[in-house]
Structure 1
Amino acid sequence: MRFKFFLLIIMCVSVISCEKSRDTKVLYLAHTLPQTHPVHKGILEFQRLLESKSNGKLKVKIFPDGQLGSERESLELLQIGSVAATKVSASILSNFVPEYNVLGIPYLFKDREHQFSVLEGPIGKSILEKGSKFWLRGLCYYDAGSRSFYTSTKAIRTPGDLKGLKIRVQNNQMAINMVNSMGGAATPMAYGELYAAIQQGVVDGAENNPPSFVSSNHYEISKYYTLDEHSSVPDVLLIGTKYWNKLSKEERVWVQEAADESAQAQKEYWRESVNESMKLIKERGVEVIIPEKSLFAEESKNVVVEFIKEFPEMAPLVNEIKNN
């Protein structure tokens, strides 16, 4: 597998070098999502818009389904210039840019309108730019919905129901602290291992948005879905600075405009996907629980307190978002 990964790197470098010698430039974009996912549809819109705006001078070649590795591996490919762009969760980017951690604070946003007024305004744009010193320039945010708990054996109706349950989370300290604060046992684990882990009882459940709950087929082995919507961590479309710096001013405008416009289209794809996913979840016999969110928000308050203690320089950003 490791040999295959490095072979892919060599192939990408060779192809990019070849393409750049021609009039047409090809932007190679890798991501881990299936082609049915609404974020992939947003990326297809980015592809269409960029090729249209540039009159075919800039083309996009997409490698979906994790063809070139995990999100972490895609970021590494971006940093060394083997691919031009990728899409990853903001939670993964927090390992490089601390400000992305703030977007994972439980119940940070009042609602979707508040979330996107922050992300698409000066605050969100400032965070996108901060990754440039790590060769990871953010272009736009894609809607990844809100994450909620799902379990295989026990329904979660209040935070107290999490006590003693092993809940898979992303390898992100904010997510770990949130589950632990509610009495659960946060269990970081690779997403690809999760189906078998739930099926075999290694973990009792996980947390994710409706389209991912469906596309992963986790609804087949999870009887309960609790829409507590504890966090709304967006996805981020990124371009490597090694590629960005070689673009002309006009080409950069095309890329940014295509990204911004694709983000608006993607929000509609996401809304449609959530509606379709919730319909399927109910049809397949999963019990959908609408809890009192304020109970979960109250239990997770200490997560913010501890975060500010560890990163006091982030306090102004947290307050700015809350007051936006």
Structure 2
Amino acid sequence: MVGLKTLKKALISGAALAVLSISAHAADLVLRSSDTHPDGYPTVEAVKYMGKLVEERTDGRIGIEVFHSAQLGEEKDTIEQTRFGVIDMNRVSLGPFNNLIEETRVPSLPYIFRSVEHMHKVMDGEIGQDILDAFEEHGLIGLAFYDGGARSFYNSKKPITSKEDLAGMKFRVMQSDLFVDMVDALGANATPMPYGEVYSSIQTGVIDGAENNWPSFESSGHYEVAGYYTLDEHLIVPEVLVISKTSWDKLSPEDQEILRQAAKESVPYMRKLWAEREAASEAKVREAGVEIISDIDKTPFIEAMEPVYEKHVTSEKLKDLVERIRAVE
């Protein structure tokens, strides 16, 4: 196993190489941004759009190059590389941050948001900014929140019409204690694994299924191996766009403001693409013959989450955050 010291040394030398390759672009600064989603996905296109705005507003001095399809690694790995400054920017799900930044646990809680509109109102306001601010002491600057859609369970075995149907089934979750506890509380078995391993794991029976939104279910091809999709919508988790504090601190205050503003302006652009993509993905999945279960009583699912809240909402800070979110009309 590689020691932490060796890992740091490798990351730092990687950062040095990145700096050298950047300086090769004449006077331009090219920020490398990671995303696990494929090219054309709304989050990928939103960061490209942000890059276009930044390039225009800096007269070509700063650009953003998006590395999609996990070219720079799976989310857990790229988070560490971004904290060390090897990767400049990163679009990441909030789940993998749950064990690192406690504030990210709250918007990741099952059924914390009443609707997508409620989530937008919360994350676009003061509460969202407070959560973005919490990234800084962990070597990252939070720039904006994107949509991650409503996540629901899908599997290869049977239609899930009630909480009882989940008993004993194996579901992939993100590498987050909170996600593991959520699945366990519903009576199923949680299996944390990287996103890229899910297709083959369902196909070979290592797991029965996973949980995700319409576009991810479709773009990953998971609908080809999981023929049942239950719209329990247990999570409406926003995704976050961050920049390495190392990269951020090298920018002038003026350029920092340009990046921050461009990130914020990329949010409505992303949401427009997201709504279009969600509708197209749903249509494709339905056309493929996947059985969609929408007539489901969510109450038992919501009630089962009480121990998850008790375990993960421990500090007064987090309890206050939950109350503030619930109070947003």
TM-score range, shorter chain: over 0.9
Give the equivalent residue in structure 2 for 1:37.
Answer: 41
Give the equivalent residue in structure 2 for 1:100.
Answer: 104
User: Is 139-148 or 58-67 further displaced after alignment?
Assistant: 58-67
Pair 8,130 (structure 1): closer, same or farther in 2 beyond 3 Å: closer
The correspondence for 1:292, drawn from 268, 284, 297, is 297
The correspondence for 1:323, drawn from 304, 323, 327, is 327
Give the equivalent residue in structure 2 for 1:13.
Answer: 16
Q: CA offsets, 1:273-324, max 9 Å, x none?
A: 110000001100001111222332122233212323x445411111111112
Give the equivalent residue in structure 2 for 1:256.
Answer: 260
Give the equivalent residue in structure 2 for 1:160.
Answer: 164
Amino acid in the other structure paired with 1:105: L
Pair 67,179 (structure 1): closer, same or farther in 2 beyond 3 Å: same
Partners of 1:146 and 1:49 lie apart in 2 by 29
Q: CA offsets, 1:63-99, max 9 Å, x none?
A: 2222221212212222222221111111112222111
Give the equivalent residue in structure 1 for 2:119.
Answer: 115
Kept in 2: contact 1:135–1:240 (CA 8 A)? yes
User: Is 252-261 or 6-15 further displaced after alignment?
Assistant: 6-15
Amino acid in the other structure paired with 1:301: E
The correspondence for 2:76, drawn from 72, 77, 81, is 72
Kept in 1: contact 2:105–2:312 (CA 8 A)? no
Tell me by how many angstroms 1:183 deviates.
1.0
Tell me by how many angstroms 1:264 deviates.
1.2
Amino acid in the other structure paired with 2:17: S
Q: CA offsets, 1:169-220, max 9 Å, x none?
A: 1121111111111111111122222112111212111100111101111101
The correspondence for 1:86, drawn from 80, 83, 90, is 90
Kept in 1: contact 2:98–2:178 (CA 8 A)? no
Amino acid in the other structure paired with 2:160: I
Kept in 2: contact 1:87–1:237 (CA 8 A)? yes
State whether structure 2 residue 312 is matched by structure 1 residue 307: yes
Kept in 2: contact 1:9–1:77 (CA 8 A)? no
Partners of 1:15 and 1:210 lie apart in 2 by 35
Pair 8,279 (structure 1): closer, same or farther in 2 beyond 3 Å: farther
Aligned to 1:202, what secondary structure does the other structure show?
coil
Give the equivalent residue in structure 2 for 1:25.
Answer: 29
Unaligned runs of 5+ in 2: 3-8
Partners of 1:65 and 1:8 lie apart in 2 by 21
Partners of 2:69 and 2:12 lie apart in 1 by 17
Amino acid in the other structure paired with 1:139: L
Amino acid in the other structure paired with 1:127: I
Instruction: Output aligned runs, 1:126-275, within 5 Å.
Output: 126-275=130-279
Aligned to 2:79, what secondary structure does the other structure show?
helix
Kept in 1: contact 2:153–2:229 (CA 8 A)? yes
TM-score, structure 2 length as denominator?
0.92
Tell me by how many angstroms 1:15 deviates.
4.1
Aligned to 1:306, what secondary structure does the other structure show?
helix
Unaligned runs of 5+ in 1: none
Aligned to 1:23, what secondary structure does the other structure show?
coil
Pair 159,269 (structure 1): closer, same or farther in 2 beyond 3 Å: same
Partners of 2:102 and 2:44 lie apart in 1 by 26
CA RMSD in angstroms comes to 2.0
TM-score, structure 1 length as denominator?
0.93
Amino acid in the other structure paired with 1:122: E
Amino acid in the other structure paired with 2:16: V
Amino acid in the other structure paired with 1:217: G
Aligned to 2:135, what secondary structure does the other structure show?
helix
Partners of 2:246 and 2:74 lie apart in 1 by 20
User: Is 26-35 or 227-236 further displaced after alignment?
Assistant: 26-35
Aligned to 1:14, what secondary structure does the other structure show?
helix
Between Structure 1 and Structure 2, how many residues are aligned? 320
Q: CA offsets, 1:256-286, max 9 Å, x none?
A: 1110011110011111111000000110000
Aligned to 2:76, what secondary structure does the other structure show?
helix
Amino acid in the other structure paired with 2:309: V
